[in-house]
Structure 1
Amino acid sequence: MAKKTKISHQIKKKPITFKRNALSTTAQMMKDSQAVILTEYRGLTVPQVNDIRVRLKDSGADFSVIKNTLFKRAADELSISDAGLDAALNGPTAAVFATGDPVAAAKAVADYMASVRNSPFKVKGGVVGGKFATAAQIDQLSKIPPKEVLISQMLGAFNSPISGLVGTLNGIVSNFVYTLQAIADKQSGGDSAAA
């Protein structure tokens, strides 16, 4: 009988270690991510899940089915708590960990939902910048232009006033040159009339 107790004691220890490792891994993944998008994946087929994984991998994100209690504990460990997060962690949940550009990951999720008619795949909410974000906020995130476009727009905005200033200065210099040319022409014309 003592052997049974010893064996059952060893079996119980292993799951606790496994759970601690899973918790620390999940917390680290959340910490390393720019955004985490929580999704409802119930009703998706295996090929559809694989398609989502490929699309997200291309945008620098990982797709993982995760236990709600595990995600909640990892969020608590990172001091992320919100009533909306508790509500989003209801039912089967898969998390999109966006370690790269969060806009690209949100766009990939939105594009997938738009490409599949009547898709059971839905956004439940997420965590962006250490704060809970609703499904509507994640949708707004997906509508932001890509990082490269934003940078080019910003550079264009900086360049526009400078270009305007250069154009104005060129206009002033040109007008001054035309005025000098007109004076020179008038004087040379006046000298011809006097002779």
Structure 2
Amino acid sequence: MANKNRQLKEAKVAEIKEKLEKAEAVVLADYQGLTVEEDTLLRKNLREAGVEYKVYKNKLVSLAAKELGHDGIVEFLEGPVSIAFGYEDATAPARILNDFAKDHKKLELKAGIVGGDIYDEAKIKQLATIPPKDVLIAKLLGSFKAPVSNFAYLINAIKDKKEAESAE
């Protein structure tokens, strides 16, 4: 019996390690006090953004984090802790949890891991202010487009001026 229990724990630790390695960003939050309806809404919002939201035993998360060299996150694994794993957009877990926490005071951001670095609550809240990846890409493309458009208008104005001069 004890051997089977150990195997189950080892499998969970391996699962957590895999998620930690794969994630662009990981955010820890204290969810104690949320109602079932609030938790369901939060999970829906996270799922729609491609963020995985889990609750694991702190001891198992601690073991996985230590094996990956993320010892600094262990101090935040106190009490009920939920974990949001962002695989595509590093800002999504922080942004969604932070926005949700504004209306639901029971949810508190604790810390996170972004790019292998440990972020405290203040840094996670700062990360939450960064727009989604697709918005940033659109802004970047818009900034590329502006000079090209201006150049095209300039060329067109020169062409119109030459045509007007040759018509005279």
Superposition TM-score, scaled by structure 1 size: 0.77
Unaligned residue ranges in structure 1 (runs of 5+): 1-10, 183-195
User: Percent identical across equivalent pairs?
Assistant: 31
Farther off after superposition, 144-153 or 45-54: 45-54
Q: Map 1:42-81 to 2 at 5 A.
A: 42-81=32-71
- Aligned partner (choices 139, 146, 149) of residue 160 of structure 1: 146
Cα deviation for residue 66 of structure 1 reads 2.0
What is the CA–CA distance in structure 2 between the aligned matches of 1:45 and 1:152, rounded to whole Å? Answer: 37
In the other structure, the counterpart of 1:101 is: 89
Instruction: Tell me, yes or no, if structure 1 residue 19 matches structure 2 residue 5.
Output: no
Count of residues in Structure 1 that have an aligned counterpart in Structure 2: 168
Q: In structure 1, the residue corresponding to 2:91 is in which secondary structure?
A: helix
Residues 1-195 of structure 1: pairs in structure 2 closer than 5 A: 11-82=1-72, 85-116=73-104, 119-182=105-168
Cα drift, residue 95 of structure 1:
0.7
| Counterpart Cα distance in 2 of 1:29 and 1:109 | 18
Task: Determine if contact 1:126/1:133 at 8 Å carries over to the other structure.
Answer: yes
Q: What is the one-letter code of the residue matched to 2:66?
A: D
Q: Is contact 1:59–1:100 with CA below 8 Å preserved after alignment?
A: no
Q: CA deviation at 1:81?
A: 3.1
**Structure 1: 4+ residue segments shifted above 3 A:** none
Q: Alpha-carbon deviations, 1:28-73, whole Å to 9, x = none? A: 1112222111001122233332222222112212222222222122
Mapped partners of 2:119, 2:46: distance in 1: 19
Structure 2 unaligned segments of length 5 or more: list them: none
TM superposition shift of 1:23: 0.6
Contact between 2:65 and 2:74, CA under 8 Å: does it hold in 1?
Answer: no
Instruction: Give the Cα–Cα distance (whole angstroms) in 2 for the partners of residues 145 and 102 of structure 1.
Output: 10
Shift of 1:135: 1.6
Q: CA deviation at 1:103?
A: 2.4
Residue aligned with 1:96, SS: strand
Question: Which deviates further from its counterpart, 154-163 or 103-112?
Answer: 103-112
The structural deviation recorded for 1:165 is 1.2
Q: CA RMSD in A?
A: 1.8
Alpha-carbon distance, 1:158 to partner: 0.5
- Maintained 8 Å contact 2:26/2:93: no
